[in-house]
Amino acid sequence: MILKEQLMRLRPDIVILQETKKEVIGRRLVARVWGSRFRDWVCAPLTGRSGGIAIIWNTRDISVVSDSEIGEFSASIKIRGNSGVDWWLSGIYGPCWPRERSRFWELAGLYGLCGVKWCIGGDFNIVRYVAEKSNGSGMTNSMRVFINFISDTNLRDPRLLNASFTWSNFRENALCRRPDHFLFTGRWEDCFFNVRQKALVWVISDHCPIELDTSKLK
Q: Among the residues of 92-167, which ranges form H helices? A: 101-104, 110-114, 141-152
Nearest to 125 by CA among 78, 166, 93: 93
pTM of the model: 0.91
Over residues 151-184, the pLDDT tens digits come to 999 999 989 999 999 999 888 888 899 999 999 9
Over residues 3-16, the pLDDT tens digits come to 778 777 878 999 99
> Domain 2-213 maps to which CATH number in 3.90.1300.10, 3.50.50.60, 3.30.460.10, 3.60.10.10?
3.60.10.10
Residues paired with residue 177 on neighbouring β-strands, in sequence order: 133, 167
Nearest to 189 by CA among 117, 92, 121, 120: 117
Residue 36 neighbours by CB distance under 10 Å: 12
Residues paired with residue 58 on neighbouring β-strands, in sequence order: 39
Contacts of residue 112, Cβ cutoff 8 Å, sequence gap at least 6: none
